[in-house]
A and B are shown apart, each in its own frame.
Chain A
Amino acid sequence: MEQLLNDFLLSKAWYFIAARGLTAIVILMSIAAYAVLLERKASAWIQGRVGPNRTNHPLIAWIPFVGTFLQKGGFIQPAADGLKFLFKEDPLPGHVRKTTYILAPIVALAPALLAIVMLPFGRLPTGEVITLCPGADIGVLFMFAISSLGVYGIALAGWSANSKYPFLGAVRGSAQLISYELAMGLSVLTVFLATATPDQDNALSLVSMVDAQKGVWNVFYHPVAALVFLICIFAEANRHPFDMPESETDLVGGFHTEYGSFKFGLFFVAEYSHMIIGSSLFIVMFLGGWHFAPGVPTVGDGLIASLFGVAWFFFKLCAFLFFFVWVRWTIPRFRYDQVMRIGWRVLLPVAVLNLLAYFLWYAVKG
């Protein structure tokens, strides 16, 4: 049993790699689906409503208590939503560029699924890291490079749709990504400046980043970088208040105006996957990864500690996703020029000054 678990997590045999990949996709997709449910429920609570509480299947409704609980909590709603996206008519408008139109949702989703491979979830008792791609030491670089590719999906969708609102959405999305990528990179650089030592091999590894937070979490050492990074992941994930490419009040539906049914569903999942990746990155870099609390790295020992660590990581992830939703229903959307101004005239200088301050600090400290 333990051997199988070890193989599943660490083996380089192709079937274990495939199994790991499938598991990750299934987990990521279901988290994305339930993030949608969280979004619907939390928005309902904030607005004094109840949220989805009707969907059920006769077989599940038949189970006493559990069935009612699942229905009231809306836990079957994501399945119904997914099936709806699958079985709806899939229209292909006559005025679109067909190849790119079909390609765009795939291009939007694939990087989101790909970026997850570098994410470390926890640590086995033997010291091995639980991740899809064990031993990779360029984690953060890879995740930034790949997850930023998601904007190509938006750009392609807007371009291929061949009508003005998607086009405007795509242009806004691209401009926003470029603007916020800089501040994001600089804030990350500040953190790596602190955790990595010059002679270290895996300086850009996310694992060593988590290990560096055994005691105090980075968010306490680098509050400014954390804030800049937080704002940037909102912008990168195109979430409120930065949902420029979508902004349904001024751009109809933004980049996916011309999309429907399953292709729209892919965009939807991609958006939530980007949220998941952004929040995982924030957790790994600033909130101590799978560590329990500042100063308290683990609870229990052995396998229990490992499992608890993974569970704790997912708990933090869920809390962070809730934060995304919470912010969405609190802050109104920025205007486009405000988004640009915040990106270039506030976040970028703040990130640069923060980096310079840390440079000076380390220079003086020696």
Chain B
Amino acid sequence: MVRLTLTGNHCVAYAVKLSKVKVVSAYPITPQTTIVEKISELVDLGDADIKMIRVESEHSALAAVYGAATAGVRAFTATSSHGLLYMHEMVWWVAQARVPLVMAVVTRTIGPPWNIWTDHHDIMDQRDTGWLIMMAENNQEVLDETIKLFKITEDPEVYLPGIVGLDAFILSHTVEPVEIPEQELVDSFLPERRQPYVIKSGEALIMGNVPSDLLTNSRMRWDIHLGLRRAEKVIDRVDMEWGKLTGRRYGGLTECYKCEDADYLFVGIGAWVGDMRLAADRLRAVGMRFGVLKIRYVRPFPYLRVLDSVRGKKGVLVFDRSVSAGSAGPLFLDLVSHMYPHRLNIPIKNVVAGLAGYEVNYEDFFRIGESFVKEVSETGWVSEFLEFYPGR
């Protein structure tokens, strides 16, 4: 084990190297670019045995790594924002083809205006595609989860591709001390590559043809949903396995910070969860018992775990860094749609904040938490279930 100070993007690159990925293809886009630059540097130094494929677009980048993965090797790509939207057709294709591979998405808002800062519109736009989607809170988690995702996506219970998400700049370009595991440790953790089928030269295999049997086709489509549900157990199990080897457990699907005795919960994903922890501590110091429910995996959405965490609370504040325009924040929509059939009726409010990279920090969370407690304790409910945080 070595300790280095690395950016989130360089953590991804080291994880790709340690996972013995064989093929990488990507198209440059800020703030993703330094991931592939670093991988390229590692290849150039002879530290990584990876074939880099140059392409003219993100759509081709995912097509190239899909082809490589189909032929039986670990493959990786990375993108952001407009690049991710441009590859969207292939994002669906890879999941439907049940080909495990890993992609890093450095979350960045969508233009116009041209803006390179973080929000979650790009990654949340992929929710329905069949990919596993996780968001990391810090650089160590970025490195660890990238390695773990190879194991999770290649599990026969899952066989679906996965996205590791990290916020633009506040993780991607921020340096933190990080522990880099030894190659032997990663080798002992990651099994040989497994996947449902392999295309080999000289062996005929028909792929993506017009289906003759729509019922089978229909069942295949539904099994993507089932595969993601089965992935819940795999994610938790792999988290424990990694924890045993490294001492770092993240809670698998979700992590609860001081939830047990909390009256109120912040719920969120990604880098700003760190600021939620600070705000919860400060609110506790003035008598308001807050906890933080960090949702690590957006897909599969771990609703049973989430419902267990929010049950019995006096109020829940869900923060979304994106909005499904015309409805509400996607994290909130997922949560409340599972609460109703489970007969959970507690005050819950959705705060949409931090769009277009606008900074929201522990002072903001503190203030929002404070006024939420006031509202819920005075009225017993919330007046507006959806609010946009206008900033200070």
- A complexed with B: no
